[in-house]
Amino acid sequence: MAANESIAEVLAIAAHRDDVEQTCGGTLLVQKSLGVRTAILDLTRGEGGTRGTAEERGAEAAEAAKILGAVWREALDIPDSRVENTWKNRLKIVEVLRRVRPRVVILPYWEGRHPDHYNSAQLGYEACFLSGLARIDTGTAPHRPYKILYASLYADVRPSLVVDITPFIEERHRSLMAYKSQYANQQQGGGLFVPEEEIRERTFAVARHYGLLAGVRYAEPFVQKEVGIAEDLTLLGVQSM
């Protein structure tokens, strides 16, 4: 592979193995259907979770990546439940960005219940900026993504845009359920986790909500910080009335 060749055009970065499947798995499936290569970077390995081991979650993440059609997936060694915006952690992500060379990066939304999630948003953003600085030497050529989107499915905010995932809703669900250590019914963590029989209903209902906002059946929401731009107003999507 040439030094400046991209591994994937879209890179989804999240704190934990299974976060991507929950928030933007359907979108990755849509990109695959369009011929766009996708990749996933998990910042932690899941060793701090109530259920499952890092090894179990690694195998499940690999299976989920196959279902989603991702061409590349890796996990960093940032401690689970200790995702912190440090220089060392930024450089770890910079190294990945310069190898994968995505045009689009998907990050978690910058507010949320779990500190790992909102810290990943700031950490990922700053790494994207630093990745474009030539004087930061990682042994690979500088690269700065063109667009950053924030997966806002669990945030109580109005999305900037949604992606219609209707044709892929079942595959999206299969990718999430690949994490048997997390979502199969079991005694450990029983009071903390949603029962297996309710997961489908809940995840489909949330996707249905965002689909209704745009006049489709199922969708995943995203926020961008930039103002959008349009030229041909006749090509704008989503009917007004």
The one-letter amino acid at 174? R
In a domain, 240, yes or no: no
**Which residue has 């595959």 as its token pair?**
171
In this structure, how many other beta carbons lie within 10 angstroms of the beta carbon of residue 129? 13
In a domain, 4, yes or no: no
In a domain, 199, yes or no: yes
Q: How confident is the model over 195-218, as pLDDT tens digits?
A: 777 899 999 999 999 999 999 999
Q: Are 50 and 82 in contact (CB under 8 A)?
A: no
Which of 189 and 108 is assigned the larger pLDDT? 108
As for how many domains the chain has, the answer is 1
Phi–psi pair at 141, nearest 5 degrees: -70, 145
Kindly report the CATH number assigned to the domain that includes residue 85: 3.40.50.10320
Tokens of 149: 């989107």
Q: Evaluate if residue 46 carries a pLDDT over 70.
A: yes
User: pLDDT at position 187, please?
Assistant: 58
User: pLDDT at position 103, please?
Assistant: 98
User: pLDDT at position 179, please?
Assistant: 93
DSSP 86-130: -HHHHHHHHHHHHHH--SEEEEE-S--SSHHHHHHHHHHHHHHHH
Dihedral of CA 77/97/72/160: which sign? positive
Q: How confident is the model over 104-127, as pLDDT tens digits?
A: 999 999 998 899 999 999 999 999
Which residues make Cβ contacts (< 8 Å) with residue 76, sequence separation at least 6? 41, 42, 43, 44, 45, 89, 92, 93, 96
In a domain, 241, yes or no: no
In this structure, how many other beta carbons lie within 10 angstroms of the beta carbon of residue 6? 16
Domain that holds residue 167: 10-235
In this structure, how many other beta carbons lie within 10 angstroms of the beta carbon of residue 7? 16
Which of 210 and 189 is assigned the larger pLDDT? 210
In a domain, 191, yes or no: yes
Q: Evaluate if residue 190 carries a pLDDT over 60.
A: no
Backbone conformation region of residue 93, classed left if phi is above 0, alpha if psi is from -120 to 50, else beta: alpha
